[in-house]
Structure 1
Amino acid sequence: MKKIFYLLIISALFIQCGKHKEQVSENPSSVNNSSNSKNLNISVLIDLSDRIDPEKNSNPTMEYFQRDIEYIKAIDKGFLDHIKGKKVIQLDDQMQIFFNPEPSDPKMNELTKELKVSFDKNTTKDNISRVEKNYSSLPSQIYQSAIQDKQYVGSDIWEFFKNKVKDYCIKDNHRNVLFILTDGYIYHKDSKFSEGKKTSYLTPELVKSLKLTSSDFKTKIQDSSLGFIKANDDLENLEVIVLGINPAKGNPFEGDVIKEYWENWFKEMKIKNYQIKSADLPSNLEPIILKAISGK
């Protein structure tokens, strides 16, 4: 009888442990199936400074503006792959393109209207085809217009994060993903100021003046509290992918300094998920872009 009694107790314990394991394993799947992971809100912020000038910043392998265009096509592909993988009744996704500040060419407003797309339960195959067509041709028109105009407006990315990112790029019940196409430098004459050793801008001249030209650059940044001025708070619901970092020549640590500035800035603004990538060939960055959008 004692043996039978002990066997019953051991069996009951195993059953309870099994139930506990089942309950624990359900939690991750419930997170993965949340509405936040199903609905995408993708934004693309384009830096239209002279970094895209094929005369001033030429690259014989592939011009930087052409790389941008291909990055945008890859972003569009990842977005549409996501759309095609959902049931029509589940669609609640959008994608848009921004500049800051806006270029002087009035055509730009019309082009960005065409590139702002939303998908809902009324979406048809024609909608998807139209988006594919627009994203294969219109981004090129944006860059050609900016290059021909030659009035490069700079990149006021700091002001965009301060005054616009929450309204433009963050939507409830969505995965909010912001792609920034930039060389990593930030400068605009209307948003140039400093607080202590921190600044709203970053230029090759600033990096040089701060003597961030040796392998101890990270220690200098930390000890002197260098970096970008915090532009916003509580951006946990925003994922950011920076594409196109292109450091000025002459300082072997320039690219590392740029990335350190951006990483510290994102952390201060509570951005948990971010990537910062150099201006690589689109064929190398496309898999990274697609993976970032799929969230896998």
Structure 2
Amino acid sequence: MARYLIITIICAWALAGCNEIEEAVKDAKKDGSAPPKDNYIVLLDLSDRILFNNQQQVPKDIQVVQSIYAAFKSKLNAKDPTRLYFTVKDKLKLMVAPQRTTSSEVYDMAGNLRLQLAAAQPEEKAKLLEETEKNFNAFLPQIYKKAVISNNSTSYAGADIWKYFNEDLQDDLEKDAQNTLFIITDGYMDFESLNGRASRNNRYTSCTQIINNLKKAPDWNSRFKEGDYGLLPVNKRFPNLKVIVLELNPKDDWTGEYNLLTTIWSKWFNEMGIKSYAFIKDDNINEINESIEKLLKVKLPSSANITSVSWTPVTESDPEITKAAKNKATMAAQTSDITPVTETVKTTAQKKENSNSYNSYSSYAYSEPAAPQKKKENVKEREYIRVSAVKGQIDTSSIHSRTNPKKPISKPKEQVTFGPAY
């Protein structure tokens, strides 16, 4: 008898729970109002920074993305405790910053890591959220495997974050949402070569160019303001955007490096109308998670409850790296004597440099010294190669980047810098 009584009580509890959920759905339909919409964009810098500390930057990146996804879920659950997300229309997507040496396969894989709740049927939203999380955990390591094309920094072009802001960001924003952009980067915006990079007065496209001009000057802050140093402006405004720059990794050979680095980014954001921004230094994942919790006002699960990342460093003997190295060597051999193409690029860069509009600037318009011309050369053959190369859009991944070896950072406990209105 007692056994049947227990079963009856359990069934009653279950029915009561179901009735509560049904009532919540009815209330949501009756109310018709939707909670504020969030749009999360995660932008990855896959330049040579991923080689840092024997590629241990990679699992750190993946853990940070997982924490951002956990924060996204926490926000959803706060908006709808029933976990049905009936009226929730939040979005989240992963993006890879434009980069010459990153394969199209990486961009294709990243394009599948996105979640748009408004496009899902009400009964499918909770399931879609869990499936997308599994996809993130499964595909992120594969994306990084494809992104590691060499263990040599000179094989990587820079991640063009400037170009993303100038050409792509506007399309990723939602007018009716609170947009939050997470940029995972070391903070330097370095490219293939600092020589020949477009600049105007004291405006550049790489933080390194500015730092090299002001580094170790006792009055660097005054010189920065008086000389109007900074990144080339993007002729667009993003007032409805919050930006969080994560994993800034200042070099430790100058104590003012971090302050100048964040000053450069802050000025750039302000000039684009972005008033809400924050910076988080590269640190252990628990410190980073605490910073994310403070900035987003959410509670994240402990690190033990987030899927752990197992990463085996990619070596030069891996097939993917061998294939990439062969392709690079082949393209280098094909383009070594194409002087006219180099001259064309150089002319284009000069025209853009003299332009009165910042918006006409392309961050890949740079010039390199022309290759030495061979004494004996078949003119027709050279012309054929030149025309074929232009039509085929030469892969310039063979152009080397000049980067400094990174040292382990030494940082104070306080590692979060806030913008003026975050």
Correspondences of 1:26-175 after superposition (within 5 Å): 38-53=36-51, 57-58=52-53, 63-87=56-80, 88-102=85-99, 104-120=102-118, 122=121, 123-148=124-149, 151-168=155-172, 170-175=173-178
The residue identity in structure 1 corresponding to 2:63 is E
3-state SS, counterpart of residue 103 of structure 2: coil
Give 1:20's aligned residue: none
Separation of aligned partners in 2, 1:182 and 1:104: 15
Give 2:270's aligned residue: 267
The residue identity in structure 2 corresponding to 1:216 is D
2:201 aligned with 1:196: yes
2:253 aligned with 1:250: yes
1:100, distance to aligned residue in structure 2 (A): 2.2
Give 1:29's aligned residue: none
Cα 1:171–1:81, aligned 2, differ >3 Å: closer, same or farther?
A: same
Give 1:17's aligned residue: none
1:264, distance to aligned residue in structure 2 (A): 0.8
1:214, distance to aligned residue in structure 2 (A): 4.0
1:227, distance to aligned residue in structure 2 (A): 0.8
Give 1:207's aligned residue: 211
3-state SS, counterpart of residue 195 of structure 1: coil
Is the Cα–Cα contact under 8 Å of residues 184 and 246 in structure 1 kept in the other structure?
A: yes
The residue identity in structure 2 corresponding to 1:256 is N
Is the Cα–Cα contact under 8 Å of residues 60 and 285 in structure 2 kept in the other structure?
A: yes
3-state SS, counterpart of residue 164 of structure 1: helix
Separation of aligned partners in 2, 1:46 and 1:86: 28
Is the Cα–Cα contact under 8 Å of residues 94 and 118 in structure 1 kept in the other structure?
A: yes
Separation of aligned partners in 1, 2:217 and 2:256: 7
1:189, distance to aligned residue in structure 2 (A): 4.4
Segments of structure 1 that go 5 or more residues without pairing to the other structure are 1-33
The residue identity in structure 2 corresponding to 1:113 is G
The residue identity in structure 1 corresponding to 2:79 is K
**Post-superposition CA distance 1:195-244 (Å, at most 9, x none):** 111111122x6523x13214432112111111111113321101000001
Cα 1:116–1:153, aligned 2, differ >3 Å: closer, same or farther?
A: farther
3-state SS, counterpart of residue 162 of structure 1: helix
Is the Cα–Cα contact under 8 Å of residues 245 and 277 in structure 1 kept in the other structure?
A: yes
Is the Cα–Cα contact under 8 Å of residues 49 and 155 in structure 1 kept in the other structure?
A: yes
Separation of aligned partners in 1, 2:192 and 2:48: 14
1:182, distance to aligned residue in structure 2 (A): 0.6
211, 233, 244: which one pairs with 1:241? 244
Is the Cα–Cα contact under 8 Å of residues 41 and 171 in structure 1 kept in the other structure?
A: yes
1:67, distance to aligned residue in structure 2 (A): 1.6
Separation of aligned partners in 1, 2:221 and 2:270: 15
Separation of aligned partners in 1, 2:271 and 2:215: 21
**Post-superposition CA distance 1:11-65 (Å, at most 9, x none):** xxxxxxxxxxxxxxxxxxxxxxx97x72111001111110111xxx317xx9222
**Post-superposition CA distance 1:144-191 (Å, at most 9, x none):** 2212455533111111111111112x1011010000011110133499
3-state SS, counterpart of residue 89 of structure 1: coil
Separation of aligned partners in 1, 2:96 and 2:197: 18
Cα 1:79–1:228, aligned 2, differ >3 Å: closer, same or farther?
A: same
The residue identity in structure 1 corresponding to 2:53 is S
- TM (normalized to structure 2)? 0.56
Paired residues, number = 254
Give 2:289's aligned residue: 286
Separation of aligned partners in 2, 1:85 and 1:106: 37
The residue identity in structure 2 corresponding to 1:194 is S
Is the Cα–Cα contact under 8 Å of residues 215 and 253 in structure 1 kept in the other structure?
A: no
Separation of aligned partners in 1, 2:264 and 2:60: 23
2:180 aligned with 1:177: yes
Cα 1:106–1:158, aligned 2, differ >3 Å: closer, same or farther?
A: closer
Give 2:337's aligned residue: none
Separation of aligned partners in 2, 1:110 and 1:281: 30
The residue identity in structure 1 corresponding to 2:106 is M
Separation of aligned partners in 2, 1:181 and 1:211: 25
**Structure 1 segments (4+ residues) deviating >4 Å:** 148-151
Separation of aligned partners in 2, 1:206 and 1:269: 19
